[in-house]
Homo-oligomer: A and B are copies of this chain.
Amino acid sequence: MLFCNIDLLDENFERKRGQYVGVKDGKIAYIGDAEPQEDYGERYDGKHRLLMSGFYNVHSHAPMTLLRGYAENLPLQRWLGEKVFPFEDKIDDEAAYYGTQLSIAEMLASGTVSFSDMYFFFDGMMPAIRESGIKCNLSRGLTVFDDSDYENLAAYKDNLRLLNEWNGEMGGRLIGDLCIHGEYTSTPKVVEAVAAHAKDAGARIHIHLSETQTEHEECKQRHGLTPAAYMEAHGIFDSPTTAAHCVWLEDEDFDILKKHNVSVACCPASNLKLASGYANIPKMLEKGINIALGTDGAASNNNLNIFQDIYLFGVVYKGFYHDSTLLTPAQVLHTATRAGALSQGRTDCGKLAVGYKADLCVIDTDTPQFTPMTDAACNVVYAAQGADVRLTMVDGEVLYRDGEFKTIDIEKVKAETQKRTDAILRRL
């Protein structure tokens, strides 16, 4: 595809007007003022459009769209114990299949090209991800409370099966990560076993870390260590890791994350809605930690529209830390794009630059909210909506365009998801 005479946000999120961008073999092959000689296939009219890197949503639980609007306005422990866990007990692979497709549809429609997911029901999730064409770092949310049989647990086996069989499938679009759900849902022996496996396999790890004050404090009581220090002590951070939330980090924790190049998946919507708190973004920025962005699952957000999280990330920490200069639009967009790609180990992704993978989105700027176009990056962060996305491309393939999903039967997915949710609700 050749994007013709289009405005773009370059790798520094500066607006360049009237550019030509050629995509070939899944990569960005040409960017320039002048129309290229080479034939890039279909021509895309760039009038009133803004081309930029697609978004990387690095913490989600895709099938949880099934729970959207079901477990509301409860304290976290009751939310989990009374609502989420009993519902999840009733999910099956087929429900997970449709719930995952629905999540992917919502993500594609708002410009997300890749996501990192931690969940279960892989026999349902995997086909949904493969068929969609989106990128995904998928990991089994491993929870083990008993040392004696952890190796036999289906969960752990699923995890290894994923890692061994699916890693690098779909032209590398699928990456199998390893996972410890969290300190409070595992044992030191399990943590060490996962750390050892990750090291052997050269895999990445996805964990929850210091999401709530309770989790953080109880870990210190149990082990005399913060969750970050605990994960470090047991070898998790010897492999590249993405740690979700990181709301309650203490001083030395920031140094631990930085030392091991741990990426943080900041999830502002979820942290606010579940009242988990405000991550210390200024400290993370000061330490140079790689901060990426996650929506978390639809049960705690309740949407997978990354523009909502981009906006939240852009404004709520200013308010909380009483500093209106905190987080420029360019920093926010870096967080939602390149930082996410890096947290997934996708070094050739997340940048609108020649040689990088063509993971792109096109935004309609012919709208009231994009007028005037004084600062395009500002408009994307503070004024845009997910629905302003007109095209989402992954590895050069158009997966979403002008309301149409190229790989998802959206009418069927909506109907089937509603049906599965209704069926589960009837059984609760």
Contact = CB atoms under 8 A, between A and B. Distances in A.
A302 B106 contact: no
Contact of A72 (B70, B329, B388, B410): B329
A319 B272 contact: yes
A68 B379 contact: yes
A50 to B, nearest CB: 13
Contacts of A315: 269, 272-273, 312
Interface string A178-217: 0000000000000000000000000000000000000000
Interface stretch (A146-154, A335-343, A366-374): A366-374
A425 B374 CA distance: 9
Nearest to A373: B418
Nearest to A298: B383
A53 interface: no
Interface residues of A, number: 72
A275 B322 contact: yes
A306 B417 CA distance: 29
A19 interface: no
A164 interface: no
Contacts of A272: 315-316, 318-319
Nearest to A269: B315
Interface string A264-293: 000001011111111000000000000000
Contact of A277 (B105, B275, B319, B425): B319
Nearest to A302: B382
Contact of A328 (B73, B105, B374, B385): B73
Interface stretch (A74-82, A123-131, A155-163, A354-362): A74-82
A112 interface: no
B302 A74 contact: no
Contacts of A425: 374
A239 interface: no
A65 B371 contact: yes
A74 B325 contact: yes
10 closest pairs, A vs B, by CB? A272-B319, A387-B387, A69-B375, A69-B378, A302-B382, A372-B421, A275-B324, A106-B368, A69-B374, A272-B315
Given A65-B371, A312-B312, A368-B414, 4 more contacts: A75-B324, A272-B318, A303-B383, A371-B414
Interface of A: 65-66, 68-70, 72-76, 79, 102, 105-106, 109, 269, 271-278, 298, 301-305, 308, 311-312, 314-316, 318-326, 328-329, 366, 368-369, 371-376, 378-379, 382-383, 385-388, 410, 413-414, 417-418, 421-422, 425
28 contacts: A66-B372, A68-B371, A69-B376, A72-B378, A73-B328, A73-B329, A75-B324, A106-B368, A272-B318, A273-B315, A273-B318, A274-B318, A274-B324, A275-B322, A275-B326, A277-B319, A277-B322, A278-B319, A278-B320, A303-B369, A304-B369, A312-B312, A368-B410, A368-B413, A371-B414, A373-B418, A374-B421, A385-B386
